[in-house]
Amino acid sequence: MPAYPKTKPSRNAKINLRHPWSKKIVNFWACNDLSGNNVFDLVNNFTLTVQSGTPWDTNLYGSGLKFSSSGVYAKATVPSQYRLGWPVTGAYGMRVLGVGSTNDREYCVTYDNSVGTPFICYGINRTNANALLLRWNNAGTFGQFTGQTLTTGNDYVVSFTISASQQIVYVNGLNPVSQSNSISNCTFGTAPQMCLGEVQSENPNVFFYWGLIANIAWPASQHIAIGSNVNNIWQMFQPDQPSLGLPSLAGWSGRLAGRGGGLIGSPLAGRSGLVA
C-alpha cells in the first residue's frame, strides 16, 4: 500500500490538460485536507465548508470526511456559472458506515439555502435499508427512483448521470439502474447549495473519500462515459497519473463485486493510483 497521500491526488495536484476529461469536470473534492473546516476543490477553487465540527478521519485509503452523527456536513453556495441544466454527472467515493435515517441526503445540490419543496436540484439519497435513491428537480417537480442496495462496511464509487431523457445510477461503474423520463431543466432558488452529507438532522453514516461534479453542455453520452468509467478520474491529475490511457473496468470487475475493499483498495495497492 503506497503511503498517504499517494492514495489520492494531493491537495496541490494539477490537472493534466492533455487528458480528454480535463475540461469537462467542473469540481473535484479530493477530501485530503485532514484538518480545518475547508474541503478544497482541485479544479475551480469551489471550496466547501464543514458546518459542524471537524469530521476529518483516516483509514486504509487515506483521509476523508466521516459523517457519523446528525447535522454534520459540508456545503457551499453554488456560483451562478455552475447552475446549469442537463445533462449532469456526479460521483463520489464512500464507505458505508451503517444504515442512515430515512432517505438521508448523501451528495446533492439543494434547490435553495433553506429546506423546502422541491428540496434538491439533483443528487443521491440513501434509505434506512441502504438503498440508493437518485433524485432530480424537473422544472420544480420532484422525481426519483430506487437504485442499488449497498452493504454496511463496504466501499463504493457511486455515480449518476441525469439527462433530459434518461437517468442512470452506477455502483463501481457496473450494473447500471436507469429510467427513461423526459424532464425539463432543473430550476434553482436564490442560493442553491452543494452538499456532502445530510443537511438536516439525520445521520448519513458515511465516510467520503472524494466527490466530483461534471455539469457542462456536452453530449449526454460523454456524461455516461464518465459515470461508467469513473474509476479513471485519477488520471486527470499530475503528477499522480499523467497517462492518457483509459483502461477498462473489466479487469477489476471481480474486485469490485461485493468486496469490502472494492472501491479503492486493490488498484491503489499497486496500480498507478487508479480508483477501482
How far apart are alpha carbons 271 and 269 in whole angstroms? 6
Q: What is the pTM of this model?
A: 0.79
CA 78 to chain centre: 16
Which position has the grid cell 445521520?
203
24: left (phi > 0), else alpha (psi -120 to 50), else beta?
alpha
How far apart are alpha carbons 157 and 253 in whole angstroms? 13
Which position has the grid cell 491529475?
237
How far apart are alpha carbons 37 and 56 in whole angstroms? 9
3-state secondary structure at position 144: strand
Outline where the chain has alpha helix (H).
220-228, 253-256, 265-268
User: Residue 74's closest CA among 41, 42, 97, 100?
Assistant: 41
| Cell numbers representing residue 44 in the block | 475551480
Q: What pLDDT shows up at residue 217? A: 63
pLDDT band at 207 (very low <50, low <70, confident <90, very high): confident
| Cell numbers representing residue 2 in the block | 503506497
Mean pLDDT of the region 25-38: 86
Residues with Cβ within 8 Å of 18's Cβ and at least 6 positions away in sequence, in order, are 242, 244
Q: What pLDDT shows up at residue 182? A: 93
Which position has the grid cell 449518476?
160
Domains of the chain: 24-268 (2.60.120.200)
Q: Please give the biggest Cα pair distance in the chain.
A: 47
Mean pLDDT of the region 70-74: 75
Which position has the grid cell 475547508?
38
Region of poorest pLDDT, from 160-174, 182-196, 251-265: 251-265
Q: What pLDDT shows up at residue 133? A: 87
115-143 per-position pLDDT tens digit: 666 678 888 888 888 889 898 888 878 88
How far apart are alpha carbons 56 and 34 in whole angstroms? 5
Amino acid identity of residue 138, one-letter, is N
Q: What pLDDT shows up at residue 137? A: 87
CA 47 to chain centre: 15
Q: Are 124 and 145 in contact (CB under 8 A)?
A: no
Fill in the DSSP letter of residue 62: E
92-116 per-position pLDDT tens digit: 888 888 876 666 778 888 888 876 6
Residue 5: pLDDT over 70: no
